[in-house]
Copies of this chain bind each other. A is one copy, B any other.
Amino acid sequence: MKGTVGELGEFGLIRELTSRLTTTPAVRLGPGDDAAVVAAPDRRVVASTDVLLEGRHFRRDWSTAYDVGRKAAAQNLADIAAMGAVPTAILLGLVVPAELPVTWPTELMDGIRDECQVAGAAVVGGDVVRGDTITVAITALGDLRNHEPVTRSGAQPGDVVAVTGWLGWSAAGHAVLARGFRSPRAFVEAHRRPEPPYHAGPAAAGLGATAMTDISDGLIADLGHIAEASKVRIDLRTAAIDVPTQMSDIGQAVGVDPLQWVLTGGEDHAIVATFPPDVKLPARWKVIGEVVNPSALPQVTVDGAPWDKAGGWDHFGDAEPEDPAGSGHPAG
């Protein structure tokens, strides 16, 4: 595939993109008509939208188009799973400069398609527009399969807090990349391509999760959303939180407490949920804290005390640090 998207033209690019797609039984009508039709057997559909901009959410020199596609899809599909739903479909709104090589959007689409396949979903439609800044707007849909949606507002004092998936790996990989290194590869890969535990979302709904979210902004920040919505406090126990040896090594090399990555690093899209205390959790869930009554303390505490370095991330704030990756979490 040679040439630029401007040379190929709008309809040529759309043909090229849709020709790469695969389908699933849930896709009743795929791309090419006024709208797509997707099965929604539960009689409710779960839907979420995210927008990624070049220079803010990804860098072409750090991530391939394929990895951007994997990551963009993963972040949306994880939102669906975090409601307790099974992802079914993605729609893609894409802005591309005319001078962009055609291989960039086609490899992006390959990445979106492959991540959809991991989650059991398919790309069913979209729109392509020419513009100055590469923009990837993704909407993901999902089906609840007769579970009630697990919101952020159902956590109860006495519940346990449990997590499954990777924590802090993307942040550690970001710290490595930001210092000009390309290894350790496992962490760089984790930054480029998260692996959300999609299956764990619906499974948690089946296990009676009282509140759930995926970790896109950081464990403390995202648990803060649950604590606020549920009007509770959440206390994390650092003794229960594993820091991999290799992550500790990176932390030592770059002068960062690796616990900081685990507690505040985003973009791994692990899934964290609260459960009644008597829940029997599968092996890959780890209990890392508990839900308690609200108090004068912050809504999320670590070993009973405020976590000094925790902070939100405001994409508009004046205080925003210059983060070339715009990756949604402080660089360390």
Query: CA A35 – CA B244 in complex, angstroms?
Result: 31
> Do the beta carbons of A93 and B318 come within 8 Å of each other?
no
- CB proximity to B under 8 Å, residues A165-204: none
A137 → chain B closest CB, angstroms: 4
Known contacts A35-B85, A44-B37, A49-B126; A316/B95 CB under 8 A: no
A162 in contact (CB, < 8 A): no
Tell me the number of copies of this protein: 2
Q: Which chain B residues border A278 with CB–CB below 8 Å? A: none
Can you list 23 residue pairs at the A/B interface with Cβ under 8 Å?
Answer: A5-B316, A6-B317, A10-B315, A10-B317, A28-B149, A29-B149, A33-B83, A33-B229, A34-B152, A35-B80, A35-B149, A37-B44, A38-B44, A40-B42, A43-B43, A47-B125, A49-B91, A49-B127, A51-B95, A51-B129, A56-B130, A93-B137, A139-B139
A76-93 CB mask vs B (1 if < 8 Å, else 0) is 000110110100010111
Contact bitstring A128-140, B, C-beta under 8 A = 1, else 0? 1111110101011
Q: Is A243 an interface residue (CB 8 A)?
A: no
CB-based nearest B residue for A129: B51
Task: For residue A96, give the distance in angstroms from its CB to the closest CB of chain B.
Answer: 8
Residue A141 interfacial (CB < 8 Å): yes
Task: Select which of B56, B95, B314 is within 8 A of A11 by beta carbon.
Answer: B314
Chain B residues lying within 8 Å of A247, measured Cβ to Cβ, are: none
Is A50 in the interface zone, CB < 8 Å from B?
Answer: yes
Q: Does A21 contact B (CB under 8 A)?
A: no
5 closest A-B pairs (Cβ-Cβ)?
Answer: A137-B137, A35-B48, A40-B40, A139-B139, A51-B93
A214 close to chain B: CB less than 8 A: yes
Pick the residue among B29, B53, B79 that contacts A131 (CB under 8 A).
B53
Residue A39 at the chain B interface, CB threshold 8 Å: yes
Decide yes or no whether A94 CB sits under 8 A from chain B. Answer: yes
Assembled-state Cα–Cα distance A52/B238 (Å):
46
A144 within 8 A of B: yes
Cα separation A243 to B9 with both chains bound (whole Å): 33
Residue of A34, A37, A52 with highest tally of chain B CB at under 10 A: A34
Report if A46-B50 is in contact (Cβ < 8 Å); known contacts: A93-B137, A131-B135. Answer: no
B41-A43 in contact (CB<8A)? yes
The answer to whether A82 and B35 touch across the interface, beta carbons within 8 angstroms, is: yes
Question: Shortest beta-carbon distance, A150 to chain B, in Å?
Answer: 9
Asked if A241 is at the interface (CB within 8 A of a chain B CB), the reply is: no
Evaluate whether A130 and B94 lie within 8 angstroms (CB atoms) in the complex, with A35-B82, A47-B89, A49-B125 already known: no
Task: Specify which chain B residues have a CB less than 8 angstroms from the CB of A53 in the assembled complex.
Answer: 95, 129, 131
Residues of B within 8 A of A317 (CB): 6, 9-10
A125 to B80, CA, bound (A): 13
Contact of A47 among B42, B124, B229 (CB under 8 A): B124
Q: Which of A13-33 contact B (CB under 8 A)?
A: 13, 28-29, 32-33
B48 and A36 within 8 A (CB): yes
Q: Is A151's beta carbon under 8 Å from chain B? A: yes
**Interface assignment of A302: CB less than 8 Å from any CB of chain B:** no
